[in-house]
Amino acid sequence: MPEQVYKFLKSNTVGIIGVPFSGGQPRQGVEEGPLRLVEFGLIDQLKSMDWAVEFEGHRDYVSLRPAHDPDSGKLKRPRYVSAVTKVVAEQVEAQARRGNMVLTLGGDHSIAIGTVAGIFTTYPEACLIWIDAHADINTPKTTTSGNIHGCPVSFLLGIAGKVPEFEWVPHCLRPDRIVYIGLRDVDEGEKRILRENGIKAFSMSHVDRYGIGQVVEMALDHVNPKRDRPIHLSFDVDALDPSVAPSTGTPVRGGLTFREGHYICEAMSETGLLVGVDIMEVNPALEDEVSVYQTVTIGCSLARCSLGETLL
Ligand SMILES: NC(=[NH2+])NCCC[C@H](N)C(=O)O
Ligand SMILES: [Mn+2]
Ligand SMILES: [Mn+2]
């Protein structure tokens, strides 16, 4: 393991969970994200940083797809998303319980239902840092798209209301244990939810005003004031500006720069409190070859920075 000491880990092992899944949104290709990240050398890169890597290969989640999967209210493919995220929760929990760092590669962001459930079941006192252009906090009532990758946070908070398919999801997240950085495309219903639940969010406007260094500090002060809680980092690559990471399904202009994105990961690693990291929404089927190269390599470097790579 790199020089960085991770306080809650019992090993120098990172468990990598590749989740080639796209059912939380309509665009094909995002299921290829994890395969490409591994193809681009992520595992060897982490090994050369002195991590022991456990990677079980890309599991075939397609077999979990039910023959019949009717909409649940507005939600699309609810049974499929539920089945996949439930398995992911079990995989993440199994890795976390052994004291390993857990790195999950998406796939679309609905997968975070599983990663956050798995981490918070293991570490109930954890906090969640959500890096994204979007808040992904729509409820089955407020969603206009019906895409579940826009809803994971509401399920984890327990504000989604009764959805039979997702009854297994633990309401493990408290509103004061999540903080957002990078937001710039938040639906009206989501703005209301954030306000009503007093959820802390740093938009791109805050990044402009305070700079990324201050924003990260303020974010940690909010969810982790004594710096004694385990941290799960869920990074949607669409938080980055589309000029930096173009190959993603829901790009929004005005995002984080290359350095701002990496700085967040470096700062999280530096706390020594990280226990889980998600790299989500890399879609190698979108845009041209150069864009794919840019986006996949940035997925790899964000993961490395989160796991202790430094510039000096
Ligand atoms: N993980 C993502 N990229 N989410 C995008 C969500 C977009 C929009 N808010 C929706 O509910 O559909
Ligand atoms: Mn997003
Ligand atoms: Mn997202």
Mutate to test the pocket of ligand 1, among 109, 147, 237, 280 (most ligand atoms within 8 A of CB): 147
* SS3 state at 108: coil
- List, as one string, the DSSP characters of 170-234: -----GGGEEEEEE----HHHHHHHHHTT-EEEEHHHHHHHHHHHHHHHHHHHH-TTS-S-EEEE
pLDDT digits (tens, 9 = 90+) for 187-217: 999 999 999 999 999 999 999 999 999 999 9
| Alpha carbon nearest to ligand 1 atom 10, residue | 150
pLDDT digits (tens, 9 = 90+) for 54-82: 998 888 999 999 999 999 999 999 999 99
Q: Is residue 5 part of a domain?
A: no
Q: Is residue 4 part of a domain?
A: no
Global confidence as pTM: 0.98
Give the model's pLDDT for residue 2. Answer: 62
Q: One of 190, 238, 260, 278 is an active-site residue; which one? A: 238
Give the model's pLDDT for residue 211. Answer: 99
Q: One of 31, 136, 185, 260 is an active-site residue; which one? A: 136
Q: What's phi and psi for 3, nearest 5 deg?
A: -45, -40
Q: Is 281 marked active-site? A: yes
pLDDT-derived band of residue 5, with 50, 70 and 90 as boundaries? confident
Strands 274-280, 101-106: pairing is parallel
Q: Give the residue numbers spanning the domain of 188.
A: 13-307
Q: How far is CA 121 from the centre of its chain?
A: 17
Section 282-303 average pLDDT: 98
Q: Is residue 6 part of a domain?
A: no
Judged by its nearest atom, the ligand closest to the C-alpha of residue 26 is: 1
Q: Is residue 2 part of a domain?
A: no
Q: Is residue 291 part of a domain?
A: yes
pLDDT digits (tens, 9 = 90+) for 238-251: 999 999 999 999 99
From 92, 71, 68, 76, select the one nearest 19 (Cα to Cα).
92
pLDDT-derived band of residue 1, with 50, 70 and 90 as boundaries? low
Strands 231-236, 274-280: pairing is parallel
- List, as one string, the DSSP characters of 116-158: HHHHHHH-TT-EEEEE-SS-----TTT-SS--GGG-HHHHHHT
Q: Is residue 270 part of a domain?
A: yes
Section 99-118 average pLDDT: 98
Judged by its nearest atom, the ligand closest to the C-alpha of residue 238 is: 2
pLDDT-derived band of residue 185, with 50, 70 and 90 as boundaries? very high
pLDDT digits (tens, 9 = 90+) for 258-281: 999 999 999 999 999 999 999 999
pLDDT digits (tens, 9 = 90+) for 218-231: 999 999 999 999 99
Would you say 171 is a known binding-site residue? no
Q: Is residue 312 part of a domain?
A: no
- Give the chain's domain count: 1
pLDDT of 179 higher than 70:
yes
Strands 231-236, 52-55: pairing is unpaired
Give the model's pLDDT for residue 56. Answer: 84
Q: How far is CA 240 from the centre of its chain?
A: 13
Q: One of 93, 165, 236, 266 is an active-site residue; which one? A: 236
| Alpha carbon nearest to ligand 1 atom 4, residue | 150
Above pLDDT 70, what percent of the chain? Answer: 99
Mutate to test the pocket of ligand 1, among 149, 190, 279 (most ligand atoms within 8 A of CB): 149
pLDDT of 4 higher than 80:
no
**For residue 98, what is the domain's CATH number?**
3.40.800.10
Q: Using an 8 Å Cβ cutoff, are 92 and 102 in contact?
A: yes
Give the model's pLDDT for residue 24. Answer: 98
Q: Is residue 155 part of a domain?
A: yes
pLDDT-derived band of residue 3, with 50, 70 and 90 as boundaries? low
